[in-house]
Amino acid sequence: MINNLKNITKCSCGHTIDDPMIVAKTKYSKWGWFLLSMAFSAMPKEVVFQCQQCGDIIDTSTDPDVLEKYRYNSDISK
């Protein structure tokens, strides 16, 4: 039996990483928040991919390229 779905993560309501319902959000360290509040540009420490419908986080990344790509996205805590 071939399991093609092995590496496809779905949230509780069935969305995958390619679905528009899955939105990348940034996570900052406390130091990052401090820099942001001082109007410096801080890089997030992590990007998470969260379903806007059920709130599940189906993937995270700390890859510098991914952090750069999504650094202006809204923060997960908002």
Closest CB to Zn ion among residues 12, 62: 12
How far apart, in Å, are the Cα atoms of 16 and each of 8, 13, 51, 73, 76? 7, 9, 9, 19, 18
Q: Which of 65, 70, 68 minimizes the C-alpha distance to 50?
A: 70
Residue 74 CB, nearest distance to Zn ion (Å)? 18
Structure tokens belonging to residue 49: 């991919």
CB of 76 vs Zn ion, minimal distance in Å: 15
Residues in contact with Zn ion by CB under 5 A are 11, 13, 15, 51, 53-54
Q: Residue 47 or residue 58: which is nearer to Zn ion going by CB?
A: 58
Q: What is the smallest separation between the CB atom of 23 and Zn ion, expressed in angstroms?
A: 11
For residues 10 and 58, the answer to whether their CB atoms sit within 8 Å is yes
Pick the closer one to Zn ion by CB: 36 or 57. 57
